[in-house]
Every structure is written in C-alpha cells, then in structure tokens.
Amino acid sequence: GGMVSAALDAFKATGDEKWLMVARRAFYWFLGENVIQTPLYDPASGGCRDGLHEGRANENEGAESTIAFLTALVEMRLAGNLSTTSAALRVNK
C-alpha cells in the first residue's frame, strides 16, 4: 500500500508516467501479481490477507492489511489509475 502512495506522489511531483505504471504494479500485487501468483484481496469478504508465506497466502485478514488495500484502492481510483469496473475487484454473488 505504501508503494502505491509513494509512486503516485512521485508522479504528482514529476509528471513522469512511469510512476503510474509503478503504482499499478504495486497495486496489482494485492490482486495476485506477486511471487506466488496468489491474490491477497478477497472480493467475497472484502478483506485482505496479511501477507505471503512460501507458496501460500497468510489466511489471516487483519484490519491493517485490509486498510492498506482499501487505501491503495481509493488512491488509485482518485488518480484515475484504475478502472472502477475492474473485474478483479467485484464481489462474486
């Protein structure tokens, strides 16, 4: 989450669009673009897992991790750097 904020701040300061790509890459880490290709965000619960273990995601969905994800989501949407209709963010009903 902090990387998303830092990259968006770097974009605001420099205008260099490479920072938008860095922010996107950092955000999509939550959605499964990480070393084990496993999403940490769970659209069914709205929670975010606490981190990665070797070969699996931590099963705990703590408040800090969920807040980090939601803050990153809001920042990305406010920056216009993320579609509000992203299929990966929809709750499956």
Tens-place pLDDT, residues 68-78: 999 999 999 99
- Which residue type, as a one-letter code, is found at position 32? G
Percent of the chain surpassing pLDDT 70: 88
Segments of the chain with pLDDT less than 70:
83-93
Q: Which pLDDT score, from 0 to 100, does residue 4 have?
A: 97
Q: For strand 47-48 and strand 52-53, is the pairing parallel, antiparallel, or unpaired?
A: unpaired
The model carries a pTM of 0.86
Q: Which helix (H) or strand (E) holds 64?
A: helix 63-78
